A and B are shown apart, each in its own frame.
Chain A
């Protein structure tokens, strides 16, 4: 069973001169349940836009995105918000933790937009990412590695079917990057969530059996920069 199914996805943005340029043009992508896949892409290649389309934060101009058999692009915005909250976990390069909320509250807040708050599960997740003694710490009191661990716990809070990770190790040193990546993969496995990670970090990508080049996947990127297709 596929958890993510993308077909003929296109997204264009108006440039400063009013001309629309296509940023995403992906003909097909699928991700099976519990699968873990990575996309390799350089900065500015549209990776984040692609993930935002999958998450329903952006609406495509055309094409379809099915998340757990639900057609995301045909949903209204509140329905997309609901689907995102209940089905997708999102891990950002910049963590995007809420600074006024404690470690545990960040996880609980993630739950509150989904199926509901489960305090025990939130605590278990925070413990699972190695922050059992940091429940009541604010993000500013945590190291960058710890902050990303909280973000991982938050992404898994609603038992999502799909976790999107956008350069999750981009702001971490090598040791932390290795640990956090391993944590993301293990935690996804444990929680039966599929993982789609985008990164340009060779070491991170080397951990995945399935790595696809985003420049090849995204025809808009290939058209704009043919040389990039040659990048190994």
Chain B
């Protein structure tokens, strides 16, 4: 009872510096937890998100570019492959499903992706989960100029069933490159929290035969999304050997998760820099507790002397100072959770807008346990230095007021 009361009174007496120091801990803690959480969640989301496919077949190019372009819709297309290539892999006995896609146009910055009905009737973006069109609504007629809009695009552009859209040429929006065709929105996709939410789906032929496109490439495709049959490891290796080693014209990007993991390995240094910055901020914030309490020791000396004269042991005073440092850190870390949710909400919104991937700000991570414990522990350690100064306070010398 005594030590908590001394701590409480001390925090009240030094309320301003305690609040400021607590806020610096809150910011540092929020940053540390956010950096960690974003890293973990984005790694899990991007390496685990395959759209339900195992591989991407495209023209000879970097596998990563193929995956980013065909699965995440965030990279330029490396070029086209022929319809025959699609037909060939479709017939391959190791392939369960092959869905062609074609790209090259946009509507106000959001990609138009041409595809076949298999994308909605057979592809599963997660086990047992197919892309579904909101009711009322339906999937496009492959022979008509109809579009199914991803949920994020619909939300951002305010598109609804029955709206008319005019595609623009290229993957980037340019008002002067409007195509002549009109497409009618016939359905809005239910949110899937995948990159599919960020695109507008139209019939494959719509992209291929859009006015202004090269008629010679009217049957070309941007990529083929491939789902292998069960036991896909061997099947994947066979196709990998066939396209990547024996062939030189096409690239078989497989397995998608591993290719994305390679991307994360390439940018691991950035993660490390972010983590280092977060650790440094945490150290500085912990140091601010030390500075804050240490700087107030001169004005506390008389109080400490009085407490000692009343019978308080040195150990009581030392414990109170250390507990005060820990209490500032603990209250700071409580506030850090508010900061964490604010940062995560902002990051989630940005990541979703850029990639369609949805992070979860309220998901539990181990960092939510170890970061507060580490911050409180470090702060308590930092409190040892002023506590030692308090320990050495000369009682007799400090009982008289400083005039």
Interface residue? A218 (CB, 8 A): no
Q: Is the CB of A55 within 8 A of B309?
A: yes
Interface residue? B351 (CB, 8 A): no
A17 to B306 Cα, complex, angstroms: 30
> Which listed segment binds A: B41-49, B365-373, B392-400?
B392-400
| Number of CB contacts from chain A to chain B under 8 A | 77
A13 to B308 Cα, complex, angstroms: 21
- B301 to chain A minimum Cβ distance, whole angstroms, is 13
A90: which of B12, B13, B309, B400 is its contact (CB, 8 Å)?
B309
- Beyond A49-B396, A112-B1, A113-B2, whether A78 also contacts B315 by CB under 8 A is yes
Q: Is the CB of A96 within 8 A of B311?
A: no
Interface residue? A84 (CB, 8 A): yes
Contacts of B345-403 to chain A: CB distance below 8 A: 395-396, 399-401
Interface residue? A82 (CB, 8 A): yes
A residues in contact with B138, CB < 8 Å: none
A-contact 0/1 string along B303-314, CB 8 Å cutoff: 100111111111
Contacts of B305-352 to chain A: CB distance below 8 A: 306-316
Contacts of B269-308 to chain A: CB distance below 8 A: 302-303, 306-308
Pick the most buried of B12, B312, B315: most chain A CB atoms within 10 A of its CB.
B312
For the complex, count residues of A whose C-beta is within 8 A of B: 31
B residues in contact with A154, CB < 8 Å: 310
B residues in contact with A77, CB < 8 Å: 313-314
Interface residue? A57 (CB, 8 A): yes
A85 to B400 Cα, complex, angstroms: 20
B residues in contact with A114, CB < 8 Å: 311
B311: which of A49, A81, A94 is its contact (CB, 8 Å)?
A81
- Beyond A49-B396, A94-B401, whether A84 also contacts B311 by CB under 8 A is yes
B residues in contact with A94, CB < 8 Å: 399-401
Interface residue? B91 (CB, 8 A): no
Q: Is the CB of B10 within 8 A of A81?
A: no
Q: Is the CB of A110 within 8 A of B310?
A: yes
A residues in contact with B307, CB < 8 Å: 98, 109, 113
Interface residue? A86 (CB, 8 A): yes
- B343 to chain A minimum Cβ distance, whole angstroms, is 36
Interface residue? A211 (CB, 8 A): no
Interface residue? A100 (CB, 8 A): yes
A-contact 0/1 string along B10-47, CB 8 Å cutoff: 10110000000000000000000000000000000000
A114 to B313 Cα, complex, angstroms: 11
B-contact 0/1 string along A143-176, CB 8 Å cutoff: 0000000000010001000000000000000000
A residues in contact with B316, CB < 8 Å: 113
Interface residue? B267 (CB, 8 A): no
B residues in contact with A98, CB < 8 Å: 9, 303, 306-307
A81: which of B6, B312, B400 is its contact (CB, 8 Å)?
B312
B10: which of A100, A109, A110 is its contact (CB, 8 Å)?
A100
A113: which of B10, B12, B310 is its contact (CB, 8 Å)?
B310
A residues in contact with B309, CB < 8 Å: 55, 57, 84, 90, 92, 96
B residues in contact with A92, CB < 8 Å: 309, 399
Interface residue? B157 (CB, 8 A): no
Interface residue? B5 (CB, 8 A): yes
B312: which of A48, A86, A113 is its contact (CB, 8 Å)?
A113
Contacts of A86-139 to chain B: CB distance below 8 A: 86, 90, 92, 94, 96-101, 105, 109-110, 112-114, 117
A-B pairs with lowest CB-CB distance, top 5? A85-B311, A113-B311, A112-B2, A100-B13, A100-B9
Known A85-B311, A100-B12; further 10 A-B contacts with Cβ < 8 A: A52-B395, A55-B309, A57-B309, A81-B312, A85-B310, A92-B309, A100-B10, A112-B2, A113-B2, A158-B311
